[in-house]
Amino acid sequence: MMTKALSICVFSLLLCSCFILPQQSEISKAVNYLSDFIASEQFVKLKEDNSDLALADTIYLRAIDYYQNDYAEALLALTFATIPYREVPLIIPLINVRIYYPLISTDKETFNRKNENLPSHFFYDSPSNQYGDKDKLAHFFGNAYIGYAESILDLADVFGYFVEAFEEDFKAQSKIDFRDMEVNWYGVLFGNLLEENKNILPSEVLIIRSFRYNIIVL
């Protein structure tokens, strides 16, 4: 069942069609590499002794190392690698036809193991079930890419709202999800801050949401 992650899936779909088709093979290699890491026994062991916020940093740093400090490419690859879906279901208005658009992802077995291991409890109100907030990293990294590339794309302030409205128009979910939109905003903030400080980590921005409500998740 498609969940609230759809907005960032649509965001990734748009990026794929508009910006990265000429380099899709390179993005695919990075997505495979990051997916393999998250699916690995090494990552499972890291989960035993580290918080999900720390694991988000670990995945991010692995991508930065892979791209040798090319932050824009790393954020883009992280977006695809952390999406917990392999395709986007859309119902086209007027003709009422459902289509499934494939996203860049690894093989099915690795994809499933990766999804099992994705960090999922970052916030005080993350659902206590097994799925938790597994879709939120893709929201965060996707919008961080937009925030980081703001000077080129000039979309950072409106893109999160656009994708939410887009998914509502295509009837992918019943209403706009304001927790998704909030995480979108933190992603943009991280991308903006990254332009000035390359040492900042995702956890340092993600934790702000808990500070706002005076509840800290460690």
Mean pLDDT, contiguous 10-residue spans, the chain (218 residues): 43 46 75 97 96 96 97 92 83 74 88 95 85 89 86 49 47 60 90 94 91 61
pLDDT at position 87, please? 79
Domain-located, residue 218: no
The 3-state DSSP class for residue 210 equals: helix
Question: Per the structure, how many domains does the chain have?
Answer: 1
Residues 6+ apart with CB under 8 A from 35: 81, 105, 106, 110, 111, 114
pLDDT at position 119, please? 93
Domain-located, residue 97: yes
pLDDT at position 9, please? 44
The domain containing residue 138 runs over which residues?
A: 6-212
pLDDT at position 7, please? 43
What is the value of pTM for the model shown?
0.79
Among candidate residues 207, 204, 184, 179, the one with its CA nearest the CA of residue 193: 204
Domain-located, residue 217: no
